[in-house]
Amino acid sequence: MERSASTIPGVSETTTLRGAQARGRPDLLFEVPHGATRAADYDALRAELEGQFPDDLRDFYFVNTDVGAPELALRVAELVVAADPTRTCIVARCLVPRTFVDCNRDIDAATVASASRPGEMTPGLHGWVRDPRDRALLLERYSAYRKHVAALYDEVCGDGGRALMVHSYAPRSVDVAIDDQIVLSLRAAYQPERVESWPLRASVDLIVDTPERERLADPDLVSDARRELEAAGFDVALNGAYALHPVSLAHVFARMYPMRTLCFEVRRDLLVHAFTPFAEMTADPARIERVAAPLSRAISARPRV
């Protein structure tokens, strides 16, 4: 297996895995739009920003970023190529912390920084981004990432391949307002006497339909993924946490390439050594493997085109 990597500083890391017998263009893309999961990712961007931000915003970053998703995407890609050395997979990891701007949102130059109420989709540009210099920098990073992955989707899905949008989510559905008091609200929500009152999420959630229940995901891949994951002991939901909402970039690409994509969430405590919501977490290779194996079997069951 040949491995190559490229980086757009502060924007993305892209890894290409090419099997020994691979020919032609890549046929599988793994996108991790919330791939900024390390303390260093947050600290690097925060050091470039000029404005004032809520106290302990870094704590919100640790709660709200997709720890384990980059490692999961890469491991699934490795297993797929190992099983079929004629395949080529691309793994695109965003390096822009969603704490400031969300690279899984459909944002344009007119986007207004905003808060969100409990239960709403989190905003593309958070309300605490008030300095115009910060706004310009964040929208520049967002635009660079979107341009990069749009080209990858065109290269893969535009040529008949498939794409998977890989996410992880917190174990429980904690609904609080996303505003300047976010850390105080989350610390209250995660108090030992209260945290178990929040609904426990499914081990894996396949995000396959629009809010109007229009299926945009690859139906065969949905069926195979659900079967393999359930056989491996995971409970699987369809649109359990949310639908493929039009405000998301996942929806944009799923609409652009209908029946060629699959967006999914894996519960974060099933991917990390320990779920520590207000501190940096690290992926557990054994737990990553347990989820990656059935996902790779599902993908390998779908013939490449």
The pLDDT tens digits of the residues spanning 165-205 come to: 999 999 999 988 888 888 899 999 999 999 999 999 999 99
Q: Give me the architecture of the 2-301 domain, per CATH.
A: 3-Layer(aba) Sandwich (3.40)
pTM for the complete prediction? 0.95
Task: Report the C-alpha gap between 98 and 266 in whole angstroms.
Answer: 18
pLDDT at 94: 98
Per-residue b or e along 12-44, where b marks 16 or more CB atoms closer than 10 Å to that residue's CB: bbbbbbbbeebeeebbbbbbbbbbbbbeebbee
Based on its alpha-carbon atoms, the radius of gyration of the chain, rounded to whole angstroms, reads: 18
Does residue 115 carry a pLDDT above 70?
Answer: no
Place of tokens 């991917």: 271
Please write the tens of the pLDDT for every residue from 17-65: 999 999 888 999 999 999 999 999 999 999 999 999 987 999 999 999 9
3-state helix, strand, coil in the chain (%, to 5): 35, 20, 40
Extended strands (E) in the chain: 2-8, 12-18, 28-32, 88-94, 162-169, 204-207, 236-238, 261-267
Nearby residues of 53 by Cβ (< 8 Å), 6 or more positions away: 46, 128
pLDDT at 111: 75
Place of tokens 């081990």: 203
Report CA-CA distances (Å) from 118 to 47, 78, 124, 229, 253: 29, 38, 16, 30, 26
Task: Report the C-alpha gap between 219 and 241 in whole angstroms.
Answer: 19
Does residue 110 carry a pLDDT above 90?
Answer: no
CA atoms within 13 A on the CB side of 228: 20
Q: Are strands 261-267 and 204-207 parallel, antiparallel or unpaired?
A: antiparallel
The burial of 65, by beta-carbon neighbours within 10 Å (0-12 exposed, 13-18 middle, 19 or more buried), is given as buried
Contact between 251 and 210 under an 8 Å Cβ cutoff? The reply is yes
Is the CA virtual torsion 80, 16, 157, 241 positive or negative? positive
Which sequence spans correspond to the domains of the chain?
A: 2-301
Other CB atoms within 10 A of residue 181 CB: 13
